[in-house]
Chains A and B, each alone.
Chain A
């Protein structure tokens, strides 16, 4: 069965620090990959997605993610975080014909 593993449950950073959130998935076929963000008290919103092509994907608010097929990974990065990036981040994966599977989420807390 497909699964998604997010390495960190809770991350605390200071403003301007660099961010990398790890995500690994288990599925051998062609996949679609996603990062969703959930700001406090809100619903999940799409941050970025990868379907094919350039493995470095740029999303909103300065976030990017790199798909490394050989490592089954899709890590999320941001060079300099802001206090407003405080949120929960979900990695997700689907094959082309099935449901999206979500990771357990990583809570990111940015100290001002």
Chain B
């Protein structure tokens, strides 16, 4: 199906574990983004990518790693999860004319 999909929808992990959130888009858009959403903070940009093999930090990149070997995929990895990374994570794609968001991943770090 065309669109942007995230997986998993829900994830519970333990402190210190590595976890990867997946994002896949079928439009071949150049730009992809990762946001986290927390009460009182709105949306905060973690990382973004302008094209395959081009990534850049956003507002809150610490503790996260991204890669973009293929245009359609933009995984987000928490190398050693912490409780402060409990959040809802949204992937988005698009450009200055508008973004389309994935359905989100609700991550709980215990």
A82 within 8 A of B: no
Once the chains bind, are A104 and B42 in contact (CB under 8 Å)? yes
Q: Is the CB of B42 within 8 A of A90?
A: yes
Q: How far is the CA of A51 from the CA of B97 in the complex (A)?
A: 8
What is the total number of residues of chain B having a CB less than 8 Å from a CB of chain A?
Answer: 20
Judge whether B82 is part of the interface by a CB distance below 8 angstroms: no
> Which B residues lie within 8 Å of A45 (CB)?
101
- Could you tell me the distance between the alpha carbons of A90 and B92 in the complex, rounded to whole angstroms? 15
Within 8 Å of chain A (Cβ to Cβ): is B45?
yes
Closest Cβ neighbor of A32 among chain B residues: B96
**Within the complex, which residue of A96, A98, A100 is in contact with B99, where a contact is CB–CB below 8 Å?**
A100
In the assembled complex, A61 has its CB within 8 A of some CB on chain B: no
Task: Please determine whether A95 and B96 come into contact, CB atoms closer than 8 angstroms.
Answer: yes
- CB-contacts of A59-112 with B (<8 A): 90, 94-100, 102-105
* Contact present for A90 and B96 (CB under 8 Å): no
Given that A43-B90, A43-B103, A43-B104 are contacting pairs, would A102 and B43 also be in contact in the complex, using a CB cutoff of 8 Å?
yes
B40 contacts which chain A residues (CB < 8 A)?
A: 104
Bound: A98/B99 CA distance, A:
12
Would you call B98 and A43 a contact (CB within 8 A)? Answer: no
A103 touches B42 (CB 8 A): yes
Residues on A lying within 8 angstroms of B by beta carbon are 32, 34, 42-46, 49, 51, 90, 94-100, 102-105
Q: A46-B98, A49-B97, A96-B96 are known; give 7 further A-B pairs, CB within 8 A.
A: A43-B101, A44-B99, A99-B31, A99-B33, A100-B94, A100-B96, A104-B40
